[in-house]
Amino acid sequence: MKSLKITFIGGGSYQWVPTLFRDIAVNAHLVNSTFVLHDIEPQRNAELAGVCRIIARKVQSPIRIETEDRLENALDGADAVILCISTGGLDAMEHDIEIPKKYGIYQPVGDSTGPGGISRTLRNVPVVMTLARKMEKLCPRAWLLNLSNPMGQIVRTIEKTSSIKVVGLCHEYMSFMGKVQKMFRLQNWQSETSATIAGVNHFAWITRLNIRGEDGLQLLRDFAASDRTSNLDTTGSLTNFSEKLSGDQVKFMLLHDYGAMPYPGDRHLVEFMPHFISKATRYGQNFGVSLTSVQDRRTTWLDTFKKRISEWTSDSPDSVPRQPSEESLAPILAALFGGPVAVQPVTIANSGQVSNLPIGAAVETLATFQENQLSPHASGALPESIVSLVHKHCVNQELTVQGAIEGDRRMILQAMIADPFNMTNDYHQIGTMLDELLKANRELLPQFFPHANRNGIKRKVTSDKTSQLISASIR
């Protein structure tokens, strides 16, 4: 394979960089690469680059590691760009979580849908548009592989405003299938199962599942009926820490009632169906769902990721596992640049692969990757009972993205009003909540406040300034 330049935007992420880099470093088809880290915090960027160098040495990989403080240098000539950001970091996310609480809205995650997901979209859209424009000039043939949330809205923004090739990657399907492997004592779920999946990111469903020639959905129903779901492993994975924080009561309940299995973690699922997270359910506790505060992310989550880094960079020569994680990034990169064909879940524009969701909407299905080619699998139609749940989120995501692109408060208000979290809220309070969210993050919203900045000085925010708002993500 040719020498590749793989650029990681959000290079200061303690959560994502070590695991994803290790996966790339142990992939035989990617070792002839240069891994470039970029972050708005140069010190943290350099720290993670040092971690990567230790990992590379321990796994005996010849991959090269570089840092670039200027985004333009990081992008110039890149073959692939990995996006892993949260504009405004945890400080901005705290507004997304805490302001809606004043209006009775409690979100366990708050990064994909609901008021938190809408607010996060507004901050990320200007940044990803700026990134795409720079890629069109500096690396127009590169693939943009997005790991940032809200996944669907970011992918849709790029599709609507740029010619860049973009694909969204999420680990929820692999995490669930890892549980399936343990449930039925499989040796390797990738070779012993096949599935059809469809929906939107964090609200996608397995509509057909074959496990060793048997009806996998029926096997899952039988498993649930045997009352063994409480024994499922919820220790979490290297990057999907949220598995520790909820069981699977919601997804198995929906399997029983709808006949298909939603595979994302329950903390994500309940945000698309707020019936599970109302005051009457003790905000999810009745279904085993835990709320995550931003302080949890600042302390417990961050300490967990730092502890893993300490273990991997210790004096022990065997401290870095050679076995890659369940993340899809490395096998997809390898396939796109001439390695083995890979079948992985993706979020991309709907060109008909989900026949009864809107064309152009960002949908999640399986796809086959091969050299410079992505082919989504045809999933057919979602059952009508399920499409009635999913379709409205496609429409609302489209409304949110367009409003975020144009800086149109009225469109965002319409999205807020339509969001299921607000179905029982006072009509006028929804607008008040929106204005509070906008005001709280105004320095990160140049499309709504073109003369605001961090210091409160009236000054037009340029695209260069917008690009500097990229911050490492801890999800």
Task: Considering only CA atoms, give the Rg of the chain.
Answer: 21
Closest CA to 203 of 420, 413, 415: 420
Residue 312 falls inside a structural domain: no
Instruction: Please tell me the total count of domains within the chain.
Output: 1
Structure tokens at 314: 């210790």
According to the model, what pLDDT value does residue 260 have? 98
Among candidate residues 367, 333, 345, the one with its CA nearest the CA of residue 24:
333
259: closest CA among 416, 386, 114?
386
- Residue 117 falls inside a structural domain: no
Give the pair of three-digit tokens for residue 415: 């999205």
Q: Range of 282's domain?
A: 88-109+169-292+328-449
CA distance 372 to 337: 6
Rounded CA-CA distance 87/41 in Å is: 13
For the whole model, what pTM was predicted? 0.92
Residue pLDDT, tens place only, 268-326 = 999 999 999 999 999 999 999 989 889 999 999 999 999 999 999 999 999 999 999 99
Q: Is residue 419 part of a domain?
A: yes
Q: Is residue 221 part of a domain?
A: yes
In terms of Cβ atoms closer than 10 Å to its own Cβ (0-12, 13-18, 19+), residue 227 is exposed
pLDDT at 114: 97
Looking at residue 469, its pLDDT comes to 45
Q: Looking at residue 460, what is its pLDDT? A: 31
| pLDDT tens sequence for the chain (475 residues) | 679 999 999 999 999 999 999 999 999 999 999 999 999 999 999 999 999 999 999 999 999 999 999 999 999 999 999 999 999 999 999 999 999 999 999 999 999 999 999 999 999 999 999 999 999 999 999 999 999 999 999 999 999 999 999 999 999 999 999 999 999 999 999 999 999 999 999 999 999 999 999 999 999 999 999 876 655 655 555 555 555 445 799 999 999 999 999 999 999 999 999 999 999 999 999 999 989 889 999 999 999 999 999 999 999 999 999 999 999 999 999 999 999 999 999 999 999 999 999 999 999 999 999 999 999 999 999 999 999 999 999 999 999 999 999 999 999 999 999 999 999 889 999 999 999 999 999 999 999 998 765 444 333 333 333 344 444 443 3
Question: In this structure, is residue 206 part of a structural domain?
Answer: yes
The answer as to whether 152 is a domain residue is no
Q: What does the alpha-carbon distance between residue 21 and residue 297 come to, in Å, rounded to a whole number?
A: 22
In a domain, 251, yes or no: yes
Q: CA–CA separation, 401 vs 397, rounded Å?
A: 6
How far apart (Å, rounded) are the C-alpha atoms in residues 177 and 180?
5
Question: Does residue 21 lie in a domain region?
Answer: no
What pLDDT does 134 receive? 98
Contact 118, 416 (CB under 8 A): yes
d(CA 168, CA 226): 36
Question: Distance of CA 219 to CAs 226, 329, 334, 358, Å?
Answer: 11, 30, 34, 32
Q: Decide: residue 285, CB within 10 A, 0-12 exposed, 13-18 middle, 19+ buried.
A: exposed
> For residues 259, 375, 113 and 413, what is the CA-based torsion angle, rounded to 10 degrees?
-120
Domain CATH code at residue 432: 3.90.1820.10
